[in-house]
Structures are given as structure tokens and as C-alpha cells.
Amino acid sequence: MALSPLLSRPAAVAGTGVDQGVAAHYGEPNIEQRRLLAGEAVADMSHFDVVTLAGEDRLSWLNTLSSQLLENLNPGQSTQTLLLTVQGRIEYDIRILADEDKLWMIVEPGQGAPLAAWLDRMRFMLRVEVTDVSDTYGLIGSCTRQSTLEAYRCWVDSWPNISPGGYAYSAGEHPGIERPWFEYIVPLTELETAVGDLALSGMLAVEALRVAAWRPRFGIDTDDKTIPHELDLIRTAVHLDKGCYKGQETVARVHNIGRPPRRIVFLQLDGSMHTLPAVGSEVQLSGKTVGKVTSMVTHFEAGPIALAVVKRNIDPDTDLQVIDGEDSYAAAQEVIVSPDAGQTAGRFTGFLRTPPQ
């Protein structure tokens, strides 16, 4: 993976794992979180992949393949969509920005080439052209509109608002509303110029704010069995009333008459420990494993927090234990996906179905 030129900035510490190639932080992780949330800094996310989809049939064609209603997407509009297996499991999580003559599709690092190949196999005789431009474009992330970046295309995250045709599996106030999120698509050759004198925050800050906003990340909070309902992705990435697409039967069945087998939860961990549990650590209840930690961060205000995927029927009022080797961490749950999610056919729920006005 190519290294970002912004890694040459003072005090930059390189990221690891999926976020290698850009900075984890620039020497002040907690301050970087504050600055990013306040709109006083931006984040180098140039390692994320970008794919374009051009051609007259691009919207109608992608609409038949994916979970979101895309046919009426206008230039400048942003959305999120999923490509699913026949069993309804998530294969790709795509952030889409419509342009005059193409769609810009943002995916996780390393996902651009596989996505482009997948789409190429599905083209048949339709007028579409798929191009992986990950070697040419990258992202700059921000919690506010940046006037110095106005010249660049910007994907706007709708999370946690409920998109038309979507549905929320949790009720009440959502912490994600405190974290607006924008991703600017920038030519890599212009990355340093685009950032200019703006303060920089690393991926540790991006991740801390994401976890605090209950925003799941593909490949981090998902596995090869994940269905959208388990992560509350019906909220922004699925249109429940659109036409047929692969995986739709599972989406409809679980939503209307079934229940997701697992659910994502937010965990507030005991801050008295001098260490943090590793991602993948077991989540236990009364000595029995009921799930695992998928994201683990230290938040500048909340301290150690995590996302975990647990069995659906675990009582949300029950405190859990996170086990990492011989270390045990007390963890209090907050509901992201209700244990009662699903089975919506023929019954009233307090969950939202339409976007707030």
C-alpha cells in the first residue's frame, strides 16, 4: 500500500492493519478527537478506495443489484447501499455520490479492485463502465463543511437519520446526531495542497468518533455472516419498498416475520484498568460467551468504549464482561439494535419508519 505524503507531517505515527498507509495520530490523540469533532481539523483517509460507475444505465443497473433505491438519485446527492449474497449477508458496503455523468463509490481500503471486478462480471450488455480509480483518488474526512475544500466532491453521511424506505431498530435519541460526517474525494496528487494549513487528526480520532456515534464499519464490525438488520443498517442503506435485488428475500423476511440472530451493542468499559481489551475479545455473561468485541477505542470524553456483536436475546439491562486472556473488563450495554427488532408485520412499534422532518 502506498504511503500518504501526509505521513511526513511532524509527529505522525503510521496506522496499522486496514488503516496502514495513513497516520494513526499526530502525537495528540485526544486533542485530535476534540479538534475533529469541533470542525477544527480534518483526517487523512487517502487509503480508502474509490470506484466510478459511468454510462447511461448506471443508476437503473446498480439499482437492480443493490439494497438502496437509486433510480432517482440526482447529481450532488449522497447515499449508502449494500451488495448482498442470496442469503442476505453483506458482501460490499458502498458510499455513493452522484455526479453529472457518473457515480462515485467509496469503499474500504483494498475493496476497490474486488468491487470493480464484481461489477464487471454483472455488466452483460448494459451501457455501464466500471473504473477503479483508487490509485488516483482518496478521501479527506471532516465533521463539518470545509470552505477550503469546496472545490472537491463531497459525500455526506446521512447517519443516523433514517433514509426514505429505511427503518430504525432503536428508539430515542441517537448519539450519531452529534457527529456530522463529510468525505471529500480528492486527487492524490493534490492531497497536500488540499489540506494546506488545516490541522490534521489521525485515524484513531476518526475511529473514536465513529464508535461513539454507533456507526458500524464494514470489515471491522462485520463478518461473513452479517446481515444488515444486526447493525441497524436498515436505517441508511436499505430501502424496504424497492424492487427485487439479490438478498431481498432475507431482508424482507427477517424484518417482517423474523428476528436478526445477533445485534450490535455499544459498550462502556470499566476505565480503572490500565489496559484495553483487544478487538476480537470474548463478551461473556455469567461465564458464557455471548459475542465478541468488534471495535475498541479510547474516547476523549467517554473513556474506553467499544462496539460488540452479541446474541440477540441478551438482556440489554445486564452488565457484561469482556475477556482478553486472563484480564476481565466490566462492560455496561447501550442498545443500538433492540432485542425486539424484526417481526414488524401486522404490529405497531415505536421505531421510526420515515425520515424525521
Specify whether 169 is located in the same domain as 271.
no
Which amino acid makes up residue 11? A
Specify whether 277 is located in the same domain as 351.
no
Extract the C-alpha cell encoding 213. Answer: 456515534
153-156 and 327-335 as β-strands: parallel, antiparallel, unpaired? Answer: unpaired
DSSP string, 191-260: HHHHHTT-EEE-HHHHHHHHHHTT---TTTS--TT--GGGGTTHHHH--TTS---TTHHHHHHHHHT---
Q: Name the domain count of the chain.
A: 2
Beta bridge partners, 298, equal 304
Specify whether 213 is located in the same domain as 73.
yes
Cβ within 8 Å of residue 303, ≥6 positions away: 268, 269, 271
Specify whether 276 is located in the same domain as 224.
no
CB 126 within 8 A of CB 55: yes
Cα 344 from chain centroid (whole Å): 25
CATH of the domain at 319: 2.40.30.110
Specify whether 7 is located in the same domain as 120.
yes
The dihedral region occupied by 257, where left means phi > 0, alpha psi between -120 and 50, and beta the remainder, is: alpha
Residues 74, 99: Cα–Cα separation, whole Å: 8
- Report the C-alpha dihedral over residues 191, 193, 198, 201, rounded to 10 degrees: 20
Specify whether 129 is located in the same domain as 216.
yes
Instruction: Give pLDDT, residue 125.
Output: 73
| Residue closest to 53 by CA, chosen among 138, 115, 140 | 115
Q: The domain containing residue 54 runs over which residues? A: 1-260+337-357
CB 261 within 8 A of CB 312: yes
Instruction: Give pLDDT, residue 350.
Output: 43
pLDDT averages per 10-residue partition of the chain, 357 residues:
92 97 98 98 98 97 97 96 98 98 98 97 89 98 97 98 95 94 98 97 98 98 98 98 94 96 97 91 97 98 97 96 96 96 70 42
Specify whether 318 is located in the same domain as 341.
no
Whole-prediction pTM value?
Answer: 0.94
Residues 63, 65: Cα–Cα separation, whole Å: 5
Specify whether 279 is located in the same domain as 130.
no
Specify whether 246 is located in the same domain as 284.
no
The dihedral region occupied by 21, where left means phi > 0, alpha psi between -120 and 50, and beta the remainder, is: left
Residues 299, 352: Cα–Cα separation, whole Å: 29
Instruction: Give pLDDT, residue 172.
Output: 87
Specify whether 26 is located in the same domain as 68.
yes
CATH of the domain at 154: 3.30.1360.120
Instruction: Give pLDDT, residue 346.
Output: 60
Specify whether 139 is located in the same domain as 218.
yes
Instruction: Give pLDDT, residue 27.
Output: 97
Specify whether 209 is located in the same domain as 311.
no
CB 266 within 8 A of CB 214: yes
Extract the C-alpha cell encoding 296. Answer: 475498541
